[in-house]
Amino acid sequence: MSTQGEANLPVRLKEEPATETGAPSKNALKKAAKEKEKAEKAAKRLAEEEAAKVKADANDTSKHLYGPLLTSSPRLTKNFCPSLKDLEGSSESEEVTVQARVYNARVQSAKLAFLVLREQEHTIQVVIAEGGQHGISRQMVKFCGGINTESYVRVTGQVKPPKEPVHSTTISNLELHVESLYVISSAEEQLPLQVKDCLKPPSTKEEGDQDATSTDTNDPNSSLKTRLDSKVLATRAPATNAIFQLQSEICAIFSAYMISHNFTMIQPSYLAGAATEGGSGVFEVAYFDRKAYLTQSPQFFKQMAIAGDLGPVYSIGPVFRAENSNTKRHLTEFTGLDFEMPIREHYHEVLSFGEDLMLHLLHQLATNTKCQYLTTIIRNAGYPDAGTFKLPSAAKEGDAPPKATRITFAEAKTLLKESGYDIGPDPHADIDTAQEKALGELVAAKYGTDFFTVDQYPLSLRPFYTHPSPSDPSLSNSYDFFMRGQEIMSGAQRIHELPMLREMMRSKGVDPDDPGFKDYEDAFRYGCPMHGGGGLGLNRILQFWLGLNNIREATLFPRDPVRLGP
């Protein structure tokens, strides 16, 4: 076994330093031997304990049909159903085996118990009845009815239609009559959170900009904080589960689009030798005897790839922001879907590419079978805005769908002004978050779309590497993309000429002679195509597609100034 595969440091932690010849010391060998012995003993004891449990009740006629599963000797079973929903294809009285969670367990009488099994959004009723072909014992009925909810079990049984449809399960026209049942992994009796309390959106009682801790006992729905603390349980609820499957779909659609447009996937580094993107927003890393910094975006790497003649490039990866903001739309780590491309003649090639990419993505989310199915699960769970996203449609059938709605920054401000918003006297002053939301409503009302783009931001509002606008040097060839009036992407043409870049750095108060910029500036010192690109926020796309209240609902393992786990 080599050293750079899986993280295996807990083993290596105990290693003694090697001797000078490279061989481990005698002491280390002794220690390793001891450890090995310990581990083997532990494994053996566990196997024996398990076996003992099953043998415990000698009077039990069906003791071979249930109990904890011996993980050390898996039974090979026939007709393994890969998924609960596949049971619907089974013929009546066929013997099948499934693995799923216990959603509910109850003993009806000494002779009869019921389980509800759950797998993602699918549930089915399971019947354990005394007697039958295999001679199920009362002990077994009691055992099955007493299994802790959320335990993971393997059930073999016959599929039969119930006497009357089971309305409390998603599979209502079939039930499973148990022949054997093993607990693969038992959940503890007391859980910090019931999956049943996660079926609907998080309680809004705790809302506000802070990740509040108060919960209202009258609201049956668990709070977001509780769900985030017990993420493993919360993610089992169908809607939450569907949210993260939809996230995966977004990544797949994005990647496929980039590949079909001849983009090369690059792997940027996430460690930089200098905090060139700005000191206060950057996480510092102890890097051997010096300091490194987590990159705030793949920006510089994408541009170096372009200068390195890799052509159009994209990346998917974490973005780190050391911003002490505890709002509903900020995280210290999120996933960026980034792209950068050479420009042939005009900056709008970049903007149009981005718009077409987003329209394709949104169209897929709205129409492809799996995305529709997942969105429906979420909508049915009571997320009010899931499935309501407005997209422009073709004027008449057969027409090509319209292009994205694009307005300039100046037009955006005029729209706001006409609707009575105070945009101030300075045409280059930014619009704030509330005004962006209002703009989203105005555009939706005027153009019938929840997705639009804003072009030509004032140069003063953008990073130093942004290319000025050819028609007005106070503006820039830059854009933002919006979903429901919230920004999901920023992008621009980038400066590709070193003198202009250095001039812009100076004018923004950035020192172009900072050694941390050398590698970046070299990209332009050695010749660079005109280019531009942008970075989409994966979590925000998911959040605003579904209209989720908090970006943490669209993030599997969210990180913010307060939260570092799970």
202 DSSP 8-state letter: P
Closer residue to a second copy, CB minimum distance, 171 or 431: 431
| Closest CB to a second copy among residues 110, 271 | 271
Does 540 qualify as catalytic in the annotation? yes
How far from chain centre, in Å, is Cα 431?
A: 30
Q: Which one from 323, 349, 503, 521 is the annotated catalytic residue?
A: 323
* Residues near 290 by beta carbon (within 8 Å), at least 6 away in sequence: none
Considering the candidates 490, 496, 552, 553, report the single residue annotated as catalytic: 490
User: Is 35 a catalytic site residue?
Assistant: no
Question: Mind giving me the DSSP string for 528-550?
Answer: ---EEEEEEEHHHHHHHHHT-S-
Select 49 or 216, whichever has its Cβ closest to a second copy. Answer: 49
**Active-site residue, from 177, 462, 540, 552:** 540
Residue 489, SS3 per DSSP: strand
Minimum distance of a second copy from residue 189's CB (angstroms): 11
- Please say if 323 is a catalytic residue: yes
Q: Which is nearer to a second copy, 392 or 463 (CB)?
A: 463
Could you tell me the smallest distance in angstroms from the CB atom of residue 204 to a second copy?
23
Which residue spans within 333-464 are E strands per DSSP? 333-342, 405-408, 451-455
Q: Report the 10 Å Cβ neighbour count for 53.
A: 12
Select from 194, 489, 508 the least CA-distant residue to 359: 489
Catalytic residue among 118, 177, 236, 329: 329
Distance from chain centroid for Cα 371: 15
Residues 6+ apart with CB under 8 A from 288: none
Between 141 and 488, CB nearer to a second copy: 488
Distance, CA of 509 to CA of 515 (rounded, Å): 15
CB of 49 to a second copy, least distance (A): 8
Q: Write the Ramachandran bin of 528: left for phi over 0, alpha for psi from -120 to 50, otherwise beta.
A: beta
Catalytic residue of the set 134, 138, 261, 330: 330
- How far is C-alpha 74 from the geometric centre of its chain's CA atoms? 33
Residue 88 annotated in active site = no
How distant is the alpha carbon of residue 20 from its chain centre?
A: 47
Active site residue 321: yes
Min dist. Cβ of residue 211 to a second copy (A): 14
Comparison of 60 and 116: residue with beta carbon closer to a second copy: 116
Nearest approach, Cβ of 32 to a second copy (angstroms)? 6
The distance of closest approach from Cβ of residue 394 to a second copy in the complex, given in angstroms and rounded to an integer, is 28
User: Which member of 236, 321, 484, 502 is catalytic?
Assistant: 321
Chain centre distance of CA 217: 29
The residues annotated as belonging to the active site are 321, 323, 329-330, 487, 490, 540
